[in-house]
Structure 1
Amino acid sequence: MKHLSTFLLSTVLTMGVAMTASAVEYKTIQPEKSKVTFQYKQMGVAMDGRFNKFVAQLSFDPAKPAAAKADIEIDLASIDAGSSDADDEVVGKTWFNVKAFPKATFVAKHIKANGANQFDVTGVLTIKGKSQDIKFPLKLVAQGNAGVFTGGFVMRRADFAIGEGMWAKFDVVANDIQVNFQLSAISGK
């Protein structure tokens, strides 16, 4: 009987620890383990890039996605488009115009569960003073005390006047830009 009560006690304690572990609220982004990247075509050739500086605010409990808050602010001057010439070009007035519009922002407006650790996110993306509603799938993978959020969406540069003047056509640089992110977050502030 003593062995049975010890077994039951350890089972209840294990279940309690498991339930507590699943009730994690992710609040602190780990920038060194996070990234924002993009892919596009230039003259039909696939190109990759990334933003090296961004900050994100997060309050996300997977059990209560409707109560979640998430936003990200990207320093557009931190772009790495594959070469220093490209980097210098895209921060200028006809592309991102970072002197007037140094940041791009995304603010989540609604997050809902769409399966186990799968969510649909709707929010507002703002670049160069122009805002667009976007929607994308989000996946959460727990890794110890951290959660890794991954997602992506297609942004059309014409919607934000990215590439004006001679760059407004899409024969050299395509209109569709695939934006992807991986954000690692831990609980606590």
Structure 2
Amino acid sequence: MKHRFPTCYVLVAALAFAALPCVQAAEYTQVNETASTISFTYKQFSSQVYGTFGKFEATLDFDTAKPSAAHAALTIQLDSIDAGSSDANSELKKPAWFDTATYPVATFVSTGVKVLGNNRYSITGKLTLRGITHVVEVPVLLKSVNAIGIFDGQLTLKRSDFKIGEGEWADGVVSDKINIRFRMVAPQR
């Protein structure tokens, strides 16, 4: 009977260990830009407006075993904006808004990553729009599906911080807060 009691503990411990989920490190180094999206919402005359950017380039070096060493960069072609109508798209390219003739791209370059737990991260970086740079923190959720990493993130910007929509547009017809959402898709390396 002495040997049976410890053997039961060993068996229970082995079964419990086998039932634990297997967490493996994964590396993501190439963004599939065709499967990825960048969208935004804002309010105009109390109605919500949805838009997207169709052209961007992204680089990624993200290892879940060493997230603090991760690096990400994004360059958005601002003239690829689609705010739902050709009139809106034309207006947003003008000097009062994005001024795409002078500032054709917006960029984000990461400077640090903090692990929040449960596949959540906070990515800090420098966002540059219209020649103005601000440090932003972007909460990101990483989902892995069939060896594909899906990085979902969202942040809220104030257009006034980047002098977007000045002049007659500064009166509040368009909300100052712009909600940015992105989904970057990257195959596991």
Shared fold, TM over 0.5? yes
The runs of 5 or more residues in structure 1 that have no matched partner are: 1-17
Aligned 1:134-173 pairs, distance under 5 A: 134-170=136-172, 172-173=173-174
Note the C-alpha offset of 1:187: 3.4
Specify the alignment match of 2:184 in structure 1: 183
One-letter amino acid of the counterpart of residue 166, structure 2? E
Note the C-alpha offset of 1:146: 1.1
One-letter amino acid of the counterpart of residue 173, structure 1? V
One-letter amino acid of the counterpart of residue 141, structure 1? K
Cα distance in 2 between the residues matched to 1:145 and 1:115? 20
4+ residue runs over 4 A deviation: none
Note the C-alpha offset of 1:167: 1.1
1:50 aligns to 2:66 (yes or no): no
Per the alignment, in what secondary structure is the counterpart of residue 138 of structure 1?
A: strand
| TM-score (normalizing by structure 2) | 0.86
1:92 aligns to 2:94 (yes or no): yes
Specify the alignment match of 1:133 in structure 2: 135
Identity %: 40
Note the C-alpha offset of 1:181: 0.2
Aligned 1:29-44 pairs, distance under 5 A: 29-44=31-46
Count of aligned positions: 169
Note the C-alpha offset of 1:168: 1.9
Specify the alignment match of 2:77 in structure 1: 75
Per-residue CA deviations over 1:146-189 (Å, capped at 9, x if unaligned) read 1000011001000001012111222x10000000000000134x
| TM-score (normalizing by structure 1) | 0.86
If you compute each CA radius of gyration, which structure gives the higher value, 1 or 2?
Answer: 2
The runs of 5 or more residues in structure 2 that have no matched partner are: 1-21
Cα distance in 1 between the residues matched to 2:58 and 2:72? 7
